[in-house]
Amino acid sequence: MLAELRGLNEECGVFGIWGDPNAAQITYYGLHALQHRGQEGAGIVVTDGKSLQAVKGEGLVSEVFSTGKLDHLKGSGAIGHVRYATAGGSGIENVQPLMFRSSTGSLAIAHNGNLVNANHLKKHLERQGSIFQTSSDTEVLAHLIKKSGYATFEQRAKNALSLLKGAYAFIMMTEDEMTVALDPNGLRPLSLGKLGDAWVIASETCAFDIIGAEYIRSVEPGEFLVINDEGMKVDRFAFPAKRAICTMEYVYFSRPDSDIDGINIHTARKRLGKELANEVEIEADVVTGVPDSSISAAIGFSEATGIPYELGLIKNRYVGRTFIQPSQDLRERGVKMKLSPVRQVVNGKRVVMVDDSIVRGTTSRRIVTLLKEAGATEVHVVISSPPIKNPCFYGIDISSSEELIASNNSIEEMREIIGADSLTFLSVEGMVRAIGRTDEGPEAGHCLACFTNNYPTEIFTDTILPYKKELTR
């Protein structure tokens, strides 16, 4: 699916390193590996032991950190952040890492996720005199830390984190140390690695590969890591709750070369495709996947059915970001700019089109039309996840229930809307089984809320959906 058309967008990606004299440059490469998690803004903050310095901007990593931008960032500790693309406005003030300076020292914070009690906490803090400079949840944590009555930064940070509810993977940095925290449910992915003597933190393990770091382990839910020149101290700010990592990390968001809790994303997606093949019987001539996230599932479906896999759709990687187009008509035309059918492959063929999800249905409808205009006699759409019927409150830019096609239509009605000859979704049970997590319980450590409406945390009445936050910025 094409995330650029605003229907399903990841919140962001975080990266941190401590103990390497080229920290800024390494963070730059790490953010490049995480670019798929956010294309709207990027930032790097570095410490030399005495002060924090930052470079931030709107745009892609290569645009923000153009020639010479990192030359003055000297130090052996750094944190970085990429921010996702959306239809709404934003502004440089919301580009992370956020920096806070005071007489007692400076603090930089990079955050992946969404706090469901952010509004509740903001109102409380404002009554106490806090003034917020951004609309980011990240700033809530900074104010809570500042107002905490504990003596040390570690104590203040742990106390502040205990007040948060929702999804969060935080990397924080002061002049002399870096701290890492993951929410008690482990909703967002976060991994720990080593590069020589340096410690490395990243949203995905693919960032370790690009810099030559060794993967050590996943950061545990409720864990609080303190990293400084003396080494790493493992602590906790909360007991782990029922594990509920976002299932869409496996289905769509993460890069195929990343691993989450020991499970390779490409391999998991292949299994999703094979599970689909077990749940549906389709007579067809070729199987194709929607680039890029659905290719692995399409290969798995092909292997299980014996129907040949072909590159029936080609992605144009050099087209401007179509999410900025002002009308739905132009956004749909953007699909044609992004994707081109391979006529010789699909012409006169019965085509199985594998995709990872359907959100609003507009992109799926356009792709089906492209294939039929290229001569496909039949287009059978198979989706490697269940119907998305509920919004996400944890940092994924999923539209409101009113905009979700599956929340308002039956599968047959959806098939008619997108113009497919058949439409099949993977079952919840099949998806969980195929991914292969071994956690106890029927959900096996997944958050399935967007499919089942069973949210792993309390949802506050004033919780704001991520896409609404963007529209108000």
Tell me what pLDDT residue 333 has. 57
Residue 463, in any domain of the structure: no
Please report, as a single letter, which amino acid is at residue 29. Answer: Y
Say if residue 231 is in the same domain as residue 291.
no
Say if residue 395 is in the same domain as residue 286.
yes
- Helix, strand, coil: what percent of the chain each, to 5? 35, 25, 40
Percent pLDDT > 70 in the chain is 89
- What CATH number corresponds to the domain at position 299? 3.40.50.2020
Say if residue 354 is in the same domain as residue 225.
no
Counted residue by residue, the chain has a size of 473
Helix axis angle for 153-162 and 138-147, nearest 10°, is 130
Quote the tokens at residue 412: 């047959």
Say if residue 209 is in the same domain as residue 144.
yes
Residue 417, in any domain of the structure: yes
Say if residue 101 is in the same domain as residue 182.
yes
Say if residue 160 is in the same domain as residue 304.
no
Per-residue pLDDT of the chain (473 residues; tens, 9 = 90+): 444 333 455 569 999 999 999 999 999 999 999 999 998 899 999 999 999 999 999 999 999 998 889 998 999 999 999 998 543 346 788 899 999 988 778 999 999 999 999 988 988 888 887 778 877 888 999 999 988 888 899 999 999 999 999 999 999 999 999 999 999 999 999 999 999 999 999 999 999 999 999 999 999 999 999 999 999 999 999 999 999 999 999 999 999 999 999 999 999 999 999 999 999 999 999 999 999 889 999 999 999 999 999 999 998 876 544 333 444 555 555 566 788 999 999 999 999 999 999 999 988 999 999 999 999 999 999 999 999 999 999 977 776 777 899 999 999 999 999 999 999 999 999 999 999 999 999 999 999 999 999 999 998 876 666 545 544 43
Tell me what pLDDT residue 67 has. 81
Q: Are the beta carbons of 94 and 73 closer than 8 angstroms? A: no
Say if residue 328 is in the same domain as residue 227.
no
Q: Domain span at residue 282?
A: 265-450
Residue 228 CA to chain centroid, in angstroms? Answer: 28
Residue 436, in any domain of the structure: yes
Residue 254, in any domain of the structure: no
Cβ neighbour number for residue 21 with a 10 Å cutoff: 12
pTM of the model: 0.91
Last residue of some domain: 173, 207, 241? 241
Say if residue 355 is in the same domain as residue 441.
yes
Number of domains into which the chain is organized: 2
User: Minimal CA–CA distance to 173: which of 111, 252, 247?
Assistant: 111
Residue 193, in any domain of the structure: yes
Say if residue 317 is in the same domain as residue 431.
yes
Residue 456, in any domain of the structure: no
Is 12 in the active site? yes
Say if residue 327 is in the same domain as residue 199.
no
Tell me what pLDDT residue 233 has. 98
Say if residue 68 is in the same domain as residue 214.
yes
H or E element, residue 226: strand 223-228
Please report, as a single letter, which amino acid is at residue 122. Answer: K
Residue 259, in any domain of the structure: no
Say if residue 284 is in the same domain as residue 236.
no
Cβ neighbour number for residue 89 with a 10 Å cutoff: 10
Quote the tokens at residue 297: 């599932």
Cis before 326? omega within 30: no
Residue 11, in any domain of the structure: yes
Quote the tokens at residue 49: 């032991």
Catalytic residue, chosen from 12, 246, 392, 447, is 12
- What CATH number corresponds to the domain at position 121? 3.60.20.10
